[in-house]
Structure 1
């Protein structure tokens, strides 16, 4: 008989087709399963979330805003002390939940991620990531030992104690897809909280060269700029903005972001900062900002 962990798995879905049902089946079929799955339909029109779901699956609906808003809605609705955010195009190992919960039992303030294998090529596996360029893109880190500290927990699978996550405002109010995990990692670092990998937890992820929906480059660029403005000191901020300025949607993106009320959050983060972004860059993003003089 499958055992249950005190976990709410939160899955957001937008135009996922049959992948979302396959991911739900994988999670529920594991030897250790969550007590509930909260599936947030982010305005899909393909019917992917309109199914007769098995017990233990709750479906919430919202207009299409993006993955950050969908995950926040799922976390607020979750009924278990641990939330695991999982992409809707994954398959999980039988024992995937236990190592994540064990790390959070020891380090309840942490963000924790599993070892992630490429579904198409299981030889590729990473655990945690590091930022590699001024646009805040990241690269997976090779698995070493049982995990340990990482620079970033990619959002494809991310575990956190629900109350601590919500107390810090959840994911930032980003639109579309992208950067919500980078912003959260920088915020968690600045709070002095651990970012950890749990390599004994294994998730297979379907990395896609083409998403099943049109790419929204402006929303992604706005999320890059929001993250940079909130967290990066000069000269890293300058390097990031200059990299963004080379992209066609930059004028509209920067105007949109600068018009938002980002200054109070920037000031709040400075007031509560326990570790600096400069220390983060030195450790986890030295190649991203190796040249900051223009």
Structure 2
């Protein structure tokens, strides 16, 4: 059933998204001892994979729901993704953002036609404000990562990758809210050939790693990481998929994230945000296990604050 759902999802969103390029680097292959294929979602519309899930979720709404609009809470990429996806199909998008969210991200949401409702920078305030918008506007709430339609949409990045390279031994993806890794795991399970999925996660926000160990969704007490897109936690819809289909999660240090990010910028000549670099950092940490293997790396996005690059001293 999920296999057909993924195929249907891809057909549905294809007119609204980019089939992003897959890049390689001879030098990074030499460093890693493997053949790496980078699925560049930094070239996706609005600069990240989240355009896929947002588009699929909106296109699954009824005509009546579309007329009333959609709402989410996000301080980053999903805010931009939902605003742009909604604009693509003529649907109003209400985006709840903490008042201290970066102005560059607020400007992007406004540029895509989203309506911003500001709130206090706490999860409770975000959820409460989104509920208020749901009630007052009749808008449909779409969660950034814990939504089945969003998960399927995110899985289409790996589906495209496997269409081009069906014999990958494993795919590495970063883990934040769990939508990307869950979708990637479904795609690899149904369309790969014994293709493993391995998650990358910062030590400073390792709730998914601990959740896999304990068997229940864990939280983070602190999230002191430059991988700002990975500070959210797993949900009840994506966690069971992760438990079933993700081989394991590798934790990486802040230094390892910075070094991987710098490697992508310098050697591949592309912009990748810190959260994206976590996938490569995880692969490099495990490179002894993957000698001479063919591996996919999901470069999840390229929305970077250029005034705050971690490797500029």
Bigger RCO of structures 1 and 2 (CA < 8 A, at least 6 apart): 2
Normalised to the residue count of structure 1, the TM-score between the two structures is 0.30
More strand by proportion, 1 or 2? 1
Normalised to the residue count of structure 2, the TM-score between the two structures is 0.29
More helix by proportion, 1 or 2? 2
